[in-house]
Amino acid sequence: MYRLATCQIEKNMATIRDATFCFLTNHTEFIARKRTISTTFWSNKFCTDIFERRTFASAMELVGENPTLFAVVRHPIDRFLSGYVDKCHKTVFYYSAEERCFGCKYDMRCFVEKMYKTLLGYYDGSIKKSRMVKYYVRHFAPQTWYCEFDKHKNDYILINYHTGINGTRKIADDFEKVYEQAQDPFRKVAEKRVLSDDYVMGLLMRMYFYDFIEFGFK
């Protein structure tokens, strides 16, 4: 069992991480249904919300002792632009073109002004927390509002969302480090055995010799 938990922040690879955790916790059926992580969206997600928790304490109770916690953080302007393009220009799944983004359509200034006032009102409790308000706050709130960072920021491994050339590779490398830290304890035992047994290691090197050559592994 992976003692692994992540805090979901919208527009920071949340959909991919949801699909990844679905695969980790239900991989046999996930594969049997021919599902893939890269083609999973919120509208067609395979797993239920059974493993999701709304508070840090309840998540820790589920994961158990000595967990590995991580969150993906993103440059605020980059995150906003991603959300704005997605929610105000593309998505018509939740709201019509007339309703979405508080009726501002393609007027960015209108939307930013209304979003700013909405965040202030949401924070001080002066506005009604309607379905639409909650939807846009969830996607555009400051990242510091998430994950109970005010109390537990130092408990997380923070992974930067990379963009541009080699961005995907950098993110993949960061995730690999997290998963290595949180790997199944039985895998750790097996790895120790392989590294301490020259005969087994020799056979594996023979089996995967051309993998090392063709793909440049060291």
Q: What is the pLDDT along the chain (218 residues), one digit of tens a residue?
A: 567 778 888 876 767 767 776 677 676 777 776 766 666 665 666 676 667 778 888 888 877 778 888 888 887 888 888 888 888 877 667 788 788 899 988 888 888 988 898 999 999 999 999 999 999 999 988 888 888 888 888 888 888 766 666 665 666 666 566 555 555 554 565 667 667 778 767 766 766 665 566 446 56
**Integer Cα distance of 92 and 86 in angstroms:** 9
The pLDDT of residue 213: 63
Let me know: does 109 contact 121? Beta carbons within 8 Å: no
**Integer Cα distance of 152 and 5 in angstroms:** 13
- Look-up of token digits 């506005």: 127
**Integer Cα distance of 163 and 39 in angstroms:** 20
Give the dihedral of Cα atoms 192, 26, 3, 60; nearest 10 deg.
Answer: -170
Tokens read off for 7? 């805090």
The pLDDT of residue 215: 47
The pLDDT of residue 187: 54
Tokens read off for 72? 């993906």
Signed CA dihedral, 144, 147, 149, 155: sign only? negative
For the chain, what's the residue count? 218
- Look-up of token digits 């967990």: 67
**Integer Cα distance of 214 and 189 in angstroms:** 29
Let me know: does 48 contact 22? Beta carbons within 8 Å: no
The pLDDT of residue 128: 92
Tokens read off for 96? 């019509």
